[in-house]
Amino acid sequence: MKPLLDITADRFRVSRAAYTDPAIYAAEQAAIFSRCWLFVGHESELAQPDAFATRRVGGRPILFLRDSQGAFRCFLNVCPHRGAQITRERSGKSRSFTCFYHGWTFDNAGTLRGMHEPHTYPEGFCQAGLHDLVPVPRFESYRGFHFLNFDPGAMSLRDYLGGACAYIDTIVDQAEGGMRVIGEAQEYSARANWKLLAENSVDIPHVTALHPTYLQLVATNSQGRMKRGEMPGYSLDLGHGHTVVERIATYGRPIAQWIESWGEEARVEIEAIYLRLVDKYGKERADRMAHCARNLLIFPNLVINDIMSVTIRSFQPVGPDGMEISAWALAPAEELGTPALGRRLTNFLEFLGPGGFATPDDVEALESCQRAARVAREAPWNDLSKGLSPGGDDQRGDTMSELPQRAFWRGWQAWLNQPGRAGDAG
Amino acid sequence: MPADASPWPDLPAVAEFLYEEAALLDDWKLPEWHALFAPDGWYLVPNTFGDPYAPVEQSLYIIADDPHHVSERVKRLMKRSAHAEQPRSVTHRLIGNVRILGRDSAEMRVQSSFITHRTSQGVTDSFFGRHEYRLVLLAGALRIREKRTLLRTGSLRPQGRLSLIV
């Protein structure tokens, strides 16, 4: 296989085959989506014991639930008997699950509780514990974000997240009573390789070219706060393919940057939030929380963007040229039932989601890249050299640098090159 | 805004109003489409999951445009820099099952079924579901106080996005 990254002192390029080649897709499934920590869901999606949700994670059907004792658990959504899905519901509440195919029944801790005609099985077959629901190999959480790992020997989630933890903290600590998912996820898609969305989600330089209609909308409510090209801040390589861009926000933030169109009452509320943050965390951290926006990419397929609103975005590849995207809105619990939540959701929809004023243009750009990527033989390279400083270690850059994309690709290459463990499929 | 005292149009006239609305969208005459809205008119597309009537300030919609945002959405879509719709998609809307659900002195509630096909870059997507309208009479003419589009597609996985006004 030809090299997929072309890295010299003053150039960083990615082969367009990396977005289209089925062999690379297969290699990613084994080396990345079977080894990295993958986001499953947020704790607030399962607010009560017995709540469950199903979803696709890393290509596998997953059952994410809280058992009757309230413990979070994560199973492969497949019957140990003949392989039907244990539940086909998207979400709900249940103390037990009965497979609709042959009727095996499990409690929500995964234990087999009943099967049809147990006396017809060979002696010893029905021994306890042999035919329970299969949990995912590893299941851990950080600050309310639940992840799974299909590699039993993986490092801990905390070690995997590494430097990303501090940024998750900066977001979660804005809430007094914890963060909540608001409503349901938006479920959409793009006919594009998943890595294009990873690149796009932490890409600041595209905003002025791709999203002028968003900037013009914001100009109608932020009275010139949005200054083109001025984005003081930085980008960081956080290791393992994780990356972040943080900069001064140029729009209103529910926590805690007031804009005139929100009115006087909101100004008082937001000032109070800001003062609470200063009181709790000191002025420097409070200023960062209130006045800076951050785009955080957790390798491979989780984005937590704390921008004009907070969104969790995860994307599941479905072949080299398609992905399913899920987007959740996250808000502090104390905003529920208050006008602050309305401001947050308006901010969300002004930019984000399949009907937003900006995200559809992103989807179009990614799909355009995918349509054009078939030129890999004749015009082989995408260029990601912006902001590269020859001789530097490329660990920290400005906001208009393509450093976040380089950090992602360096992580991607490291995961692909990591030698397989015994028992790995490929 | 109080509606005036003109009598409400009958079902064929209401249906004609909805066909005309669809034709304006098919023809990309979005400012003319916007003119069918009352000054306090909202355009809503609830999420495909959850309660489609949840308060917009408490639940995540796909589109929840107040009058200002309806106007801004139209402005955006008429610009060449609305990249998701450039080159402009070709769309065709089929409206049927038009029903008047109720009326009082101020408002008429109407619903229709729709199928919207959208072709762009050689790919055709279909959007379908139900439009629910709150209509008012302003100076004797029907105007939209609220258009709530309930997508019945399960999710937006097949279509990817909702870059047009369905």
A220 touches chain B (CB under 8 A): yes
**Averaged pLDDT, A197-206:** 96
Distances (CA, A) of A382 to A186, A198, A210: 30, 15, 18
Each residue of B35-73: pLDDT tens digit?
Answer: 999 999 999 999 999 999 999 999 999 999 999 999 999
A361 touches chain B (CB under 8 A): yes
The pLDDT, as a whole number, for residue A247 is 95
A51 touches chain B (CB under 8 A): no
The pLDDT, as a whole number, for residue A421 is 56
CA dist A266 and A278 (Å) reads 18
The partner residue sitting opposite A183, judged by closest CB among B50, B79, B81, is B50
CA–CA min distance A186, chain B (Å): 7
The pLDDT, as a whole number, for residue A425 is 46
pLDDT at B6 over 60: no
Contacts with A364 from chain B: Cβ below 8 Å? 83-84, 161, 163
pLDDT at B4 over 90: no
CA atoms within 13 A of residue B104's CA, in its CB half-sphere: 3
The pLDDT, as a whole number, for residue A227 is 52
Q: Which helix (H) or strand (E) holds A23?
A: helix A22-31
CA–CA min distance B68, chain A (Å): 10
A44 touches chain B (CB under 8 A): no
CA dist A203 and A399 (Å) reads 9
What's the whole-number average pLDDT of chain B? 95
pLDDT at B5 over 80: no
Question: ipTM value of the model?
Answer: 0.94
Distances (CA, A) of A361 to A176, A188, A206, B78, B82: 35, 14, 11, 14, 7
Q: How many CB atoms lie within 10 A of CB A153?
A: 12
CATH code: domain B11-47+56-151 is 3.10.450.50
**Averaged pLDDT, B23-44:** 98
pLDDT at A101 over 50: yes
The pLDDT, as a whole number, for residue B1 is 45
Percent of chain A with pLDDT over 70: 96
Interface of B with A in 69-98 (CB under 8 A): 69, 72-73, 75-76, 79, 81-84
Contacts with B68 from chain A: Cβ below 8 Å? 220
Residue A220's pLDDT band (cuts 50, 70, 90) = confident
The partner residue sitting opposite B84, judged by closest CB among A337, A345, A361, is A361
Domain ranges of chain B: 11-47+56-151
Domains of chain A: 38-142 (2.102.10.10), 164-417 (3.90.380.10)
Contacts with B63 from chain A: Cβ below 8 Å? 349, 355
CA dist B89 and B127 (Å) reads 14
| Secondary structure of residue B138 in the 3-state scheme | strand
Beta bridge partners of B127: B116
Handedness of CA A101, A107, A112, A115 (dihedral sign): negative
Write the secondary structure of B82-133 as one string of H (helix), E (strand) and C (coil): CHHHCCCCEEEEEEEEEEEEEECCCCEEEEEEEEEEEEECCEEEEEEEEEEE
The pLDDT, as a whole number, for residue A13 is 98
Query: For the whole model, what pTM was predicted?
Result: 0.95
Q: Which helix (H) or strand (E) holds A316?
A: strand A310-317
| Residue that has been written with the tokens 């003062």 in this structure | A275
| Secondary structure of residue A207 in the 3-state scheme | helix
A424 touches chain B (CB under 8 A): no
Residue A127's pLDDT band (cuts 50, 70, 90) = confident
DSSP code at position A257: B
